[in-house]
Amino acid sequence: MKLGAMFSDVFRALFRRTATRKYPFERTPPPEHLRGKLYWDAEKCTGCCLCSKDCPANAIEVLTVNKANKRFIVRYHADRCTYCAQCVLSCPQHALHLSSNDWELANTDKQAFTFYYGDDADVESFLVKRAENSAEEV
Ligand code: SF4
Ligand code: SF4
């Protein structure tokens, strides 16, 4: 490129509107059908496990707390999820959905990509048991 043409490009660019946004300070609303983080509705879930069986990425696990009382925990691995929505389609109870608002999931901590859904006390006792089991294995 000739120097004159380059300067003319630079000069014109000075008066042009910027093509980029100062994210995260400037945001545009996400598209209506954007597929973000997966959410689970405990009230609707029957524990059939179709979602986890059909997930191509092994990103969703249904853990049984009490089958008779239909109490389950769902462990969701956002770092494995491909946001394909197969689990949403497979769920006969419409207990799953991919949020169009909650999609900023980037993190430097791997743990932050694992989400537990369910009753807080159930999740807590599951995590305590898991920690005890892994301590016994050491
Ligand atoms: S959206 Fe796709 S990859 Fe993610 S949990 Fe559901 S089935 Fe698995
Ligand atoms: S497919 Fe639906 S009802 Fe069945 S375990 Fe998954 S979330 Fe629950």
pLDDT tens digit string along 33-44?
Answer: 999 999 999 999
Burial of 4 (0-12, 13-18, 19+ CB in 10 A): exposed
- Which pLDDT band holds residue 80 (cuts at 50, 70, 90)? very high
Long-range contacts of 104-108 (CB under 8 A, 24+ apart): 104/24, 105/36, 105/37, 105/78
pLDDT over threshold 90, residue 134: no
Q: What is the pLDDT of residue 39?
A: 98
Mutate which of 41, 44, 51 to test ligand 2's pocket (most atoms within 8 Å of Cβ)?
51
Spacing, Cα 50 to ligand 2 middle (Å):
6
**How many Å apart are CA 43 and CA 95, to the nearest integer?**
8
Helix then strand then coil, % of the chain, to nearest 5 = 35, 15, 50
**How many Å apart are CA 59 and CA 114, to the nearest integer?**
9
Q: Answer whether 59 contacts ligand 1 (Cβ < 6 A).
A: yes
Q: Answer whether 85 contacts ligand 1 (Cβ < 6 A).
A: yes
Average confidence score pLDDT of the chain: 93
pLDDT over threshold 80, residue 137: no
Token digits of residue 43:
């009230």
Q: Is the dihedral of CA 79, 82, 117, 30 positive or negative?
A: positive
Instruction: Summarize the confidence of residues 104-117 as an average pLDDT.
Output: 95
**How many Å apart are CA 58 and CA 78, to the nearest integer?**
10
Domains of the chain plus CATH, in order, are 36-137 (3.30.70.3270)
Q: What is the pLDDT of residue 1?
A: 66
| Residue bearing the bigger pLDDT, 70 or 48 | 48
Q: What is the pLDDT of residue 138?
A: 61
